[in-house]
Amino acid sequence: MCGIVGGIGKCDFRDYVLGGLKKLDYRGYDSAGLAYVKEGKVNLYKTPGTVEALASKVPAFEGAEIAIGHTRWATHGDPSEVNAHPQFSQGRLVYLVHNGVIENFRALKTRLKARGYSFLSQTDTEVIADVLEFHYLTNGKDALKAIRETEIDLEGSYACAIIFEGDEHLYFMKKGSPLLIGVGDKAMYLASDCLPMIKLAKSYVDLSDGDYGCLSPEGLTLYNEGRAVEPVYSERKIDDYDYDLRGYPHFMLKEIEEEPMVLSRLIDNYFDPESGEYLFDPSLLKAMKEADEIIFLACGTSHYASLYGLEFMEFYGKKASSYIASEWAYHPISLSKKPFYVLLSQSGETADLIACQKIINDEGRPNLAIVNVKDSTLSRRATYSCLIYAGLEVAVAATKSYIAQIGLMALLLGALTNSSSPVRHLEKLGEAIEDVIARKEDIHETAKKITGARDAFFVGRGSDYSAALECALKLKEISYIHAEAYAGGEIKHGPIALIEKGTPVFGLISEVDTALPLRNNIEEVKSRGAATYIVSSLSLSSGKDAFVTKDVKPYLNSFLKVVYGQYLAYYVSLEKGLPIDKPRNLAKSVTVE
């Protein structure tokens, strides 16, 4: 949520800032802005809407010395020009862009009002600018002192890039929201992640909470809690490969079709075929074995992936539960004596999950973060951390990361049970996904039939119910069709009242024990007018089914129904002409509660 780009030195800043904001737009935003310093003077441009709209307002600005840019996902105040960033202080001495939420902004506003400040915007960010300005003026225009004192005043999360009018440096501060410094040839950069800088930076510094400092064209000066800190430089963070559409029209399509490759990369990282050994940290496996309950916490798609983790732990004979992170954070009850927590998150930055992890860490409980982003907040703060190696996921709708999360949990099950079978099973799953990919046009044809639907339902039993939840989430988030998932047996207990003539209902069949009752459920809705589509596994299929997936191991069969659901959502959105990779109101990484 919110994207920050900035830099100082010799650089084509118009290109870098606008291009960089475009690269960050996967995070979700509804307004954009930038400021640059030329000949010591700050120039400011902002607009509601897109980076393209901003670009049309911004003239060429060769020779600029410093620039900052921002895409804003509105939290305080509507997505208007006045609320867009950069925000500036009352005396126009401070301009800044901010990602995060200032929790005590109302109290700070009251204090500032008493000092004669008034406000133009509804944002919490404007308050930071004014607090900075106040400390700047009371500290003889010492910007670093002003930042340190402001940090003490602020409660909440922030990553900020800051310009002080008349000062030759670019300043920053960070707590709770990601910010990265990039080291270039004749310039220094900063951004919310490395994407805007991959072509320019030779190395990076991942800022830690409490870090603040300044950039000059020659380098970085870093402090934490008032003390100078030696920066830790690391090499290139990602490959251009991930941020290249490689001929695909959308990242979502590319990412679905990377799923077989992602599974085999996952296996390569966690299993050594020579020795037949898994490569998990032995102390992680020991801690999981010793736990009396495994508790999964996650949000959205990651939560639906965790339902499989729960099932796998039950195969293993372990008591397990799965909770939505934003619920558990307010009711963190565990009756177990020795719980072990598994936190699943593609981004590793989801605020609700970070709140859970704080509770867990404060209690001194062990936890494993399963993330896609190396060095993300969750992974840094976890007792154990496992990467899912899905590669950068750009589309807001999670696809390959979901498959990789489940793949990782299947491998963990293999390691816990000393069985290499999950490795072979996942290889077969990859082949079966290739088969779905090869027949995607059949799914496209079904998608065309449901583009006009107001509602759609996905029905499954057992693991197909978990798959149905994910299929419904995919459809609603990118096609804007109201979609719900129901456990087959529940249909008669209420939802059947929603069935009208032509309502699309998808029945998912992967389990031998529930295949027949599920078919009966589908017959019941069909006889009330629903347009029904059965997606079944080959050994459980009938000639009339809408789509049949290859048979893999029973515990993996239902994932193929999710791949079907991913394609269905993609094609419905395509037919409706919607912004597939960046659906309205959504952000890739949900860094606010």
CB 567 within 8 A of CB 256: yes
Name the active-site residue from 23, 254, 582, 588.
588
Residues 55, 22: Cα–Cα separation, whole Å: 10
Name the active-site residue from 2, 214, 386, 471.
2
* 217 versus 309: smaller Cβ distance to ligand M6R: 309
Rounded to a whole number of angstroms, the minimum distance from the CB of residue 176 to ligand M6R is 15
Candidates 181-189, 236-244, 347-355, 516-524: pick the segment binding ligand M6R (CB under 6 A): 347-355
Q: Within the chain, what is the greatest distance between any pair of CA atoms?
A: 81
Which strands make up the sheet holding 482-487, listed edge to edge?
A: 482-487, 455-460, 504-509, 531-537, 547-549
Rounded to a whole number of angstroms, the minimum distance from the CB of residue 415 to ligand M6R is 23
Q: Nearest to residue 423, comparing CAs of 274, 537, 534? A: 274
Output DSSP code: residue 156: B
Rounded to a whole number of angstroms, the minimum distance from the CB of residue 325 to ligand M6R is 8
Binding of ligand M6R by 345 (CB under 6 A): yes
Rounded to a whole number of angstroms, the minimum distance from the CB of residue 305 to ligand M6R is 8
* 220 versus 404: smaller Cβ distance to ligand M6R: 404
Candidates 301, 377, 566, 591; binder of ligand M6R (CB under 6 A) is 301
Binding of ligand M6R by 300 (CB under 6 A): yes
Residues 135, 138: Cα–Cα separation, whole Å: 5
Binding of ligand M6R by 377 (CB under 6 A): no
Q: How many CA atoms lie less than 13 Å away from 352 in the CB half-sphere?
A: 21
* 66 versus 396: smaller Cβ distance to ligand M6R: 396
* 299 versus 320: smaller Cβ distance to ligand M6R: 299
Query: Within 10 Å of residue 272's Cβ, how many Cβ atoms?
Result: 10
Binding of ligand M6R by 188 (CB under 6 A): no
Candidates 46-54, 57-65, 197-205, 295-303: pick the segment binding ligand M6R (CB under 6 A): 295-303
Three-class SS of residue 23?
helix
Three-class SS of residue 218?
coil
Question: Please, which residues bridge with residue 271 across strands?
Answer: 278
Candidates 302, 367, 532, 549; binder of ligand M6R (CB under 6 A) is 302
Candidates 197, 396, 432, 487; binder of ligand M6R (CB under 6 A) is 396
Rounded to a whole number of angstroms, the minimum distance from the CB of residue 416 to ligand M6R is 23
Contacts of residue 437, defined as CB under 8 A and 6 or more positions apart, other chains included, come to: 256, 257, 260, 563
* 285 versus 359: smaller Cβ distance to ligand M6R: 359
CB 132 within 8 A of CB 96: yes
What does DSSP say about strands 203-206 and 180-183: parallel, antiparallel, or unpaired?
antiparallel
| Backbone region of residue 438 per phi and psi (left: phi > 0; alpha: psi in -120 to 50; beta: other values) | alpha
Candidates 34-42, 76-84, 396-404, 458-466: pick the segment binding ligand M6R (CB under 6 A): 396-404
Binding of ligand M6R by 150 (CB under 6 A): no
* 475 versus 552: smaller Cβ distance to ligand M6R: 475
User: Residue 250 has which token pair?
Assistant: 């959308």
* 299 versus 505: smaller Cβ distance to ligand M6R: 299
Q: Nearest to residue 23, comparing CAs of 199, 179, 178, 159? A: 199
Peptide bond into 86 cis (omega under 30): yes
Binding of ligand M6R by 397 (CB under 6 A): yes
Instruction: Verify whether residue 160 is a known catalytic residue.
Output: no
Rounded to a whole number of angstroms, the minimum distance from the CB of residue 360 to ligand M6R is 16
Binding of ligand M6R by 350 (CB under 6 A): yes
Binding of ligand M6R by 540 (CB under 6 A): no
> What mask of x and - would describe binding to ligand M6R in positions 419 to 458, judged by CB under 6 A?
----------------------------------------
Candidates 221-229, 362-370, 554-562, 584-592: pick the segment binding ligand M6R (CB under 6 A): 584-592
User: Residue 70 has which token pair?
Assistant: 């921002």
Q: How many CA atoms lie less than 13 Å away from 114 in the CB half-sphere?
A: 5
Rounded to a whole number of angstroms, the minimum distance from the CB of residue 295 to ligand M6R is 16
Which of 477-497 are b and which e, b meaning 16 or more Cβ less than 10 Å from the residue's Cβ? bbbebebbbbbbeebeeebbe
Q: Nearest to residue 442, comparing CAs of 581, 568, 281, 287? A: 568
Residues 446, 471: Cα–Cα separation, whole Å: 14
Binding of ligand M6R by 510 (CB under 6 A): no
Q: Nearest to residue 301, comparing CAs of 406, 388, 429? A: 406
Instruction: Verify whether residue 2 is a known catalytic residue.
Output: yes
Contacts of residue 428, defined as CB under 8 A and 6 or more positions apart, other chains included, come to: 552, 553, 556
Q: Nearest to residue 158, comparing CAs of 136, 146, 144, 173? A: 173
Q: CA Rg, the chain, in Å?
A: 25
Rounded to a whole number of angstroms, the minimum distance from the CB of residue 540 to ligand M6R is 28
Q: Nearest to residue 326, comparing CAs of 302, 355, 346? A: 355
- Which H or E element spans position 87? strand 87-88
Binding of ligand M6R by 255 (CB under 6 A): no
Binding of ligand M6R by 404 (CB under 6 A): no
Rounded to a whole number of angstroms, the minimum distance from the CB of residue 400 to ligand M6R is 11
Q: How many residues bind ligand M6R (CB under 6 A)?
A: 17
Q: Which residue is nearest to ligand M6R (CB)?
A: 300
Rounded to a whole number of angstroms, the minimum distance from the CB of residue 282 to ligand M6R is 27
Binding of ligand M6R by 343 (CB under 6 A): no
Candidates 206, 477, 511, 581; binder of ligand M6R (CB under 6 A) is 477
Rounded to a whole number of angstroms, the minimum distance from the CB of residue 569 to ligand M6R is 9
User: Residue 419 has which token pair?
Assistant: 């069985």
Candidates 87-95, 161-169, 288-296, 300-308: pick the segment binding ligand M6R (CB under 6 A): 300-308
Catalytic residue ranges? 2, 588
Residues in contact with ligand M6R by the rule CB under 6 A = 299-302, 345-347, 350, 353, 396-398, 473, 477, 586, 589-590
